[in-house]
Amino acid sequence: MRAFVFPGQGAQAIGMGKALADAYPAAKAVFDEVDEALGEDLSGLIWGGELDALTLTANAQPALMATSMAVMRALEAEGVTVDAASYVAGHSLGEYSALAAAGAFTVADAARLLRARGIAMQEAVPVGIGAMAAILGLDFAAVKDVAEEAAQGEVCQAANDNDPAQVVVSGHKAAVERAVEIAKAKGAKRALLLPVSAPFHCSLMQPAADAMALALDAVEIAQPKVPVVSNVLAEAVSDPAMIRRLLVEQVTGSVRWRESVMYMGAQGVTEVYEIGAGKALSGMVKRIDRGINAVAVSTPEDVVAAVAAIKA
């Protein structure tokens, strides 16, 4: 069994998807569709802009989805469709890419939702008030304890359970800074603040969750062709009403990536293809379950190799 997984924020790079768009008309059409949906030349920013501008949450989220969907369309052009996978899953914003790949959203709706999500997440907390930090070398339970100790009346929560040795905390800046020091004292290999513009996946994001509830209410969600492993539940869902509710909860909830991969492994998944920019998820998958072979697919050459392996 195999799964297709879709990356989240942090994977963005100038030039991502360009070679695919040049090689596959169907991939180019994705970027055109996103530009049209947003009423701007996002593809111009992705392929020739400044990384600082691309990294802005409101740009990075639709840009990463567009790149993932371009890879998906290239695979389809070579004869591999989403139902070659038993599950799809995505890391944070990647869940929207997974849903678009599975046909639950149109690409245009996914682009507009992610633009709204990016703006709402940025506006939920004034710049400088919140922070996020990566804690390496402590497991999720240990980091949860660290976050609770660090909170001291402020918000500090374990936000991303990425793999057995990497957990991200999120919340008020002072509380997150305390968590970094507490984690180091408790034996973390490394603990460092992340270069993010807002404290994602914690209760400070409630205004963004409220905004996404409204945005999602205005969009039709179809039943996905392949079950989607939800960040919030770390198990598969297919019901459109439940998907809608979970996408709202996802804004303030923890990204349960480690458990999501363990869930897919327990269902019999032995191959994972990371669809889109970067290789971060492939690395996490290998650290979570050594029985799963994980491959990143982002270039025309990767597409050809993946198609050969899937069809073999």
pLDDT per residue of the chain (312 residues) written in tens, 0 to 9: 999 999 998 889 999 999 999 999 999 999 999 999 999 999 999 999 999 899 888 999 999 999 999 999 999 999 999 999 999 999 999 999 999 999 999 999 999 999 999 999 989 998 889 999 999 999 999 999 999 999 999 999 999 999 998 999 999 999 999 999 999 999 999 999 987 778 999 999 999 999 999 999 999 999 999 999 999 999 999 999 999 999 999 999 999 999 999 999 999 999 999 999 999 999 999 999 999 999 999 999 999 999 999 988
92 is an active site residue: yes
Looking at the fold, whether 298 and 158 belong to one and the same domain comes out as no
Sign of the CA dihedral 92, 270, 267, 310? positive
Which structure tokens are listed for 297? 């697919």
* CA–CA dist 311, 80 (Å, integer): 8
Q: Do 276 and 94 meet the contact criterion of CB atoms below 8 Å apart?
A: yes
Of 196, 216, 231, at which residue does a domain stop? 196
Q: Could you tell me which residues are beta bridge partners of residue 160?
A: 168, 255
Residues in CB range of 37: below 8 A, 6 or more apart: 107, 108, 109, 111, 112
Contacts of 244 (CB under 8 A, 6+ apart): 216, 217, 221
Q: What is the CATH number of the domain that holds 91?
A: 3.40.366.10
20 and 119 fall within a common domain: yes
Q: Which of 201, 230, 254, 298 is catalytic?
A: 201
Domain boundary among 167, 196, 225: 196
Question: Are residues 112 and 51 located together in one domain of the fold?
Answer: yes
**What does the alpha-carbon distance between residue 203 and residue 267 come to, in Å, rounded to a whole number?**
31
Give the domain-ending residue among 150, 178, 196: 196
295 and 236 fall within a common domain: yes
Angle at 294 between CA 232 and CA 111, to 5 degrees: 50
CATH number of the domain encompassing residue 172: 3.30.70.250
Q: Tell me: the pLDDT tens digits for 69-98?
A: 999 999 999 999 999 999 999 999 999 999
Q: If 0-12 CB within 10 Å is exposed, 13-18 middle and 19+ buried, where does residue 202 land?
A: buried
Residue among 43, 68, 92, 170 flagged as catalytic:
92
Query: In total, how many domains does the chain have?
Result: 2
Please tell me whether residues 101 and 178 are part of one structural domain. no
31 and 172 co-located in one domain: no
Number of C-beta neighbours around residue 246 at 10 A: 18
Rounded to whole angstroms, what are the CA distances from 300 to 5, 32, 41, 74, 102? 18, 19, 23, 8, 21
Residues 110 and 230 occupy one common structural domain:
yes
Whether 17 and 144 map to the same domain: the answer is no
Query: By C-alpha distance, which of 300, 292, 241 is closest to 85?
Result: 292
Closest C-alpha to 107, from 76, 42, 62: 62
Same domain, yes or no, for 103 and 240? yes
Gap between the Cα atoms of 38 and 40, Å rounded: 5
Do residues 51 and 119 share a domain? yes
Give residue 87's domain range: 2-124+204-311
Residues 25 and 88 in one domain: yes
68, 119: one domain = yes
In the residue annotation, 201 being an active-site residue is answered as yes
